[in-house]
Structure formats: structure tokens, C-alpha cells
Amino acid sequence: MRVELRLRGPQLPCYPGRWASPASPAGPGAMDHQSPWVVRTVRAVLVRVVVGFFLLVAAMGIVSVVGIRRKSAAVVNAVRRLSRATKALPLKTAGTGDAYASVVRHVGRTSGKSYETPVHAVVTDDGFAIALPYGSGSDWVKNVLARRTAAIVYGGRTCPVDDPKIVPLAAATPQGVGVLTLRVSAVTVR
């Protein structure tokens, strides 16, 4: 659909040299997208957008790393919200085969609802150890500590666990990240 506006008076283009000549294939009044001015302008805008995007991503990365290391409440809570919003993605493969993540199945301490949380569990002599980069204030940690039981899906198997303990690693890590240890409660693994 083409809309034409007719002006009274002399028919002069608003931006001389940036419009197609009356003899151009697109017809009189059509914009010439190959003109050097248009190409330079579009290229300059694209360069600024791409550079701005990369600077924004770099700044966000620096702020998140520094904020997590200094345990800034605003940064930690923002990372938690982002993790909750994107939790469905790692849950698709977590706990299966050679996946990097395992799944902690736990029950809410007040709601009684069942939850699944992707974590990185490491096998120990009597159970599992899970790093707590967000601290012991995470909801899933509170649920496991309150109920004193959970289940971990690790390598395609479900292991019931109990006796949760938070072991501080202040001496081992400069950030003081704690570790939640869980003892396997049954010999049989489902």
C-alpha cells in the first residue's frame, strides 16, 4: 500500500542528494538505499549497537562476579531470580547419564509441595556434597534442613538421603562458600 502526499508549491526534496533521481528504477521520489550517506549511517548505527551490547554484557558479567564474591544482597538475589526463571532448562537433562547437574527432590517446609532443584552434587564416602554458592538461605536448603530428608537423582538413579549438615569451608575457599553434606539413607538405590 502506498500513500502519496501532495505538497502545494514547488516539488523539492527535503534532503537534497539523499533521494532517488526521477530517472531511478524505483521511480521518482523513491529513497535510494545504495547512496553513500545511507550506507554510512546504517553502518555507524549497527556498529554502535553491537559495541554497546558487548559493553553491556561485559559490565553485567563484572558486576555479577564482583557482587557474588562480595556477597552483595542485590546481586545474589538477582542471580537467584534469574536461576529460578531459567530452572526448567537444566532440569531437562539433570540427573541423567553424564549430565553435569543432579536433581534434589525435596518437600516444602510450609507448603508441603514437592520441588525439584538442579544442583551440582559430588559423591562422597557416605553420600553427597553440594556446594552452596548462594549460601544457606536458599529455599531448597531450608526445606532439606527442615525436613531432614530428600532424594538426589544422580547418574540416572534416585538416592534417598538424610542427615543434612552444612559444613563451612572458610579455610578452603576465600569466599567462605559452605557445603551441604547428605548421607545416603538406604542401601537400595532406585
pLDDT attached to residue 34: 64
155 pLDDT more than 70: yes
pLDDT attached to residue 61: 87
Q: Is residue 77 part of a domain?
A: no
Residues pairing with 48 in the sheet: none
Q: Is residue 81 part of a domain?
A: no
25 pLDDT more than 70: no
Q: Considering the entire predicted model, what is its pTM?
A: 0.55
**Do 22 and 65 lie in a common domain?**
yes
173 pLDDT more than 50: no
**Do 37 and 98 lie in a common domain?**
no
**Do 33 and 95 lie in a common domain?**
no
Q: Round to whole Å and give the CA distance between 170 and 132.
A: 12
φ, ψ at 41 (rounded to 5°): -65, -45
Q: Which class for 67: exposed (0-12), middle (13-18), buried (19 or more C-beta within 10 A)?
A: middle
Q: Is residue 111 part of a domain?
A: yes
Average pLDDT, the chain: 77
**Do 96 and 157 lie in a common domain?**
yes
pLDDT attached to residue 172: 41
- Return all residues near 106 (Cβ < 8 A) that are at least 6 apart: 114, 115, 117, 140, 143, 144, 147, 150, 151
φ, ψ at 91 (rounded to 5°): -70, -20
Residue range 89-105, pLDDT digits in tens: 888 888 887 788 889 99
Cell of 138: 536458599
Instruction: Give the domain range for residue 53.
Output: 15-70
21 pLDDT more than 50: no
103, 106, 189: which is closest to 154 by C-alpha? 103
